[in-house]
Amino acid sequence: MQQPVLSVEQLNVSVQTANGWCPIVRDLSIEVAAGETLCLVGESGCGKSLTALAIMRLLPRGARIDSGRISLGGVDLAALDEPALRHVRGRDLAMIFQEPMTSLNPVMTIGDQITEGVQRHEGVSSAAARARALELFNKVRIPDPQRRLAAYPHQLSGGMRQRVMIAMALACRPRLLLADEPTTALDVTIQAQILEMMAELRAEIGTAIVFITHDLGVVAEIADRVAVLYAGKIVEQTDVVSLFDNACHPYTRGLMRSIPRLSRQAGGAVVDRLTEIKGTVPAPIAVPAGCAFSPRCALATEQCAAEPFAEPLAPSHLVACWHPEIAAVAANAGPAR
Ligand SMILES: Nc1ncnc2c1ncn2[C@@H]1O[C@H](COP(=O)(O)OP(=O)(O)OP(=O)(O)O)[C@@H](O)[C@H]1O
């Protein structure tokens, strides 16, 4: 892999509870290269958003980074003070949220919001910033962009607001874009258009993307690599093809079995029966010691009372499990364990 744009090493994030600080994100390590999309996948509450907010250094009150190193293009973000961080956010580092109204100012026109950001970070004239805003609106396929620049956020549809937020995030050609479920609230046609547009922009600008989702259909569409989180820990990390063909962690395999699939039968196509993963994700204060998935895992043994290490089963395919289902991987690469 070339020099990564983002490197996160052994990140630990906790939140405050009535019983003290509770670990949420545990020993998370990821790298993302220029022009690459890494999807962070996992069920609700597993710490995806807190990971993105920790990278942005925008954790809410009641959440903190306990340890870990986050570097952007080799620069340690922890070493920057707040003014320096503000400079990096927006210019090198941008984030888009599931709900665009969280980052749009309701009392400012869309045009003023986008040109202000471009002027602040790039020091260009207001005319040049406006020209750039128009260019971006065309790029994210906002129809009638001149008129839309004069609109306030509430005058736009949800899909249009999401495009505006993407245009704002990309205004300064960030090196890294963190996208937290940006299409979840949109209908499927608009979702598909937005994913396609993000892929185009990534190819054109070379932005590295961390894309958070719980939707494996979206993963198949946009990911180069995928990190699967369970109870705040990465349990499997690999390229998208291996994930769908050779998932090895019992949790990932369970997720795969929960995707509807069609199969051909004598009377035509039928949807295969879906298999659910038995049990529920533990609450953060009740994560079991050792392998957190073991109480739900059909393959669990006494060994799972100890924490499994993330080991490479094949080049760039990490699995944290004592009993990975390695038959498929073994065919592609020699065993590494
Ligand atoms: N400011 C906070 N104070 C206390 N607990 C928090 C805070 N922010 C998040 N949490 C808790 O941390 C856990 C992880 O939250 P996070 O939002 O990162 O999950 P997620 O994987 O992004 O889930 P979702 O897909 O539902 O957004 C949850 O249990 C959540 O309730």
Please give the number of the atom of ligand 1 that sits closest to the Cα of 42.
21
The answer to whether the CB of 68 is under 6 A from ligand 1 is no
Taking the centre of ligand 1 as the mean of its atom positions, its distance from the CA of residue 44, in whole angstroms, is: 8
The CATH code for residues 6-223 is 3.40.50.300
Q: From ligand 1's centre to the CA of 214, what distance in Å?
A: 14
Contact partners, residue 60, CB within 8 Å, separation at least 6:
53
22 CA → ligand 1 middle, Å: 11
**Ligand 1 pocket, mutate which of 46, 53, 99 (most atoms under 8 A from CB):** 46
Please give the pLDDT value at position 117. Answer: 81
Residue 162 has pLDDT above 60, yes or no: yes
pTM for the model stands at 0.88
Q: Which three-class secondary structure string do you get for 254-306?
A: HHHHCCCCEEEECCEEEECCCCCCCCCCCCHHHCCCCCCCHHHCCCCCHHHHC
- DSSP label at residue 15: E
Q: Which two tokens stand for residue 217?
A: 């259909």
In sequence order, what DSSP letters do the residues of 118-174 get, joined into one string?
A: HHHHH---HHHHHHHHHHHHHHTT-SSHHHHHT--GGGS-HHHHHHHHHHHHHTT--
Q: List the beta bridge partners of residue 265.
A: 268
Compute the average pLDDT of residues 77-87: 88
CB distance 334 to ligand 1 below 6 Å: no
Mean pLDDT of 7-36: 95
Q: How far is CA 272 from the centre of its chain?
A: 29
Angle in degrees, CA 165, 170, 175, rounded to 5? 135
Residue with tokens 């990140």: 11
Query: Cα–Cα distance between 163 and 139 in angstroms, integer?
Result: 10
In the chain, CATH 3.40.50.300 sits at 6-223
Atom in ligand 1 nearest the alpha carbon of residue 283 = 29
Residue 104 confidence (pLDDT): 86
C-beta separation of 52 from 95 below 8 A = yes
Backbone angles phi and psi of 93, in degrees to 5: -140, 125
In this structure, of 7-11, 138-142, 176-180, 207-211, the range with the lowest mean pLDDT score is: 138-142
Alpha carbon distance 201, 314 (integer Å)? 31
Q: What is the mean pLDDT of residues 131-155?
A: 88
The H or E element containing residue 204 is helix 188-205
Distance (Å, whole) CA 30 – CA 52: 12
Which whole number is the average pLDDT over 44-57? 92
Q: Is residue 62 lining ligand 1, measured as CB closer than 6 Å?
A: yes
